[in-house]
Structure 1
Amino acid sequence: MRNLIALFVILFTSQLFSQDVAVLKYKGGGDWYSNPTALPNLVKYCNDNIDTNINENIQTVEVGSTDIYQFPLLHMTGHGNVFFDDDDAENLRNYLISGGFLHIDDNYGMEPYITKELKKVFPNNELREIPKDHAIFSTAFDFPNGLPKIHEHDGKAPKAFGIFHEGRLVLLFTFESDLGDGWEDQEVHNDPDDVREKALKMGANIVKYAFEN
């Protein structure tokens, strides 16, 4: 098993200079496929505004597959249930500690499920709120007040939680913000231009941070 993990790490680190992102598919019945226009729009925004060269043909990868090692950044979203089996959790943990980055965007209703499943991935490492002066809020665009509020949901303040490994932020969980809805085509949610712009700018920060750290 150790030799296999080492091989994955070698294969993954060989991809670190690539600029590709993927949607993470998971078990449990939750709608991992929600917000289908979100990531393509974010990628185009990043390519146009922060000098990235990301493949605009967005792929989907399963959480238990070695394919995740091809992507420096994975995006995960949904409204409902999430389930990681033991192999999924081990694969995701190895991906993250070897240099990968996961952004989980709660599309409303995902929080209780993903919180429980992340304990399988990092049993001894809890989600903790990311301070507003963290670099992820200023890598490309400044958000001095932290995570922007895009959709109301329960009317609570938006929160950015993270998991850190050896001082590096490896996982970002955005809650009560719904960035992905702001990335979608304008006619999907009819968000004002300034709201969509805030969502895309924060998304660009996430992309830039994931690629550079």
Structure 2
Amino acid sequence: MTEDIPAGLIKGSDDKLRCWWHGNQDDYIIYHDTEWGWPVDDDRRLFEKICLEGFQSGLSWLTILRKRENFRTAFANFDVEKVAKFGEADVERLLQDAGIVRHQGKIRSTINNAARALDLKREFGTLASYFWAFEPGPELRPATIDHEAVKLLGKTETSTKISKDLKKRGWSFVGPTTVYAFMQAMGMVNDHLEGCICREKIEVSRKAFKRPGQ
């Protein structure tokens, strides 16, 4: 008899149900279980996440995940003050770095966005304070998070609002879809599907999480 597994979930070798997208690949499962959706308030990690989501545009996230350590080395561990000081020599260095995605527009965007991130820090104190202020209330979230609901959430009212504000402030490669992926990754929303082993754990973590500025 075939087991009835809800749409969007797959069973791992440990017999636990998880969101489908990790494909039971070990490194992807670790990311799914320990990072994706857990609330983050560390500015370095937030800057890294939004930059890598920008690099992911047009590619698979697994490609970026497997190059992440190379990205960290190439971009000074995503220290905004250091990256904001990168110049043309750094652009040329990065374009020769086979360990990252050698897309000139995305490389220049990361350097530009580091400078813009410093502007945000001066205005809001931390990047975390800026981003978490946009957290959507329950009225803007679907009642249940199932496979069909998540497929419809490529971008949302909130991600569009953040994208427009960031672009107005001079950021680039921060379209609504990229921003929504960032919101998912940083835990501003919990899009682990109903029945996934991580969903309730993250709900508990989100309830205990102290929002910056509150």
Q: Bigger relative contact order, structure 1 or 2, given CA contacts below 8 A and separation 6+?
A: 2
TM range (shorter): under 0.3
Answer 1 or 2: which has greater strand percent: 1
Larger helix share, 1 or 2: 2
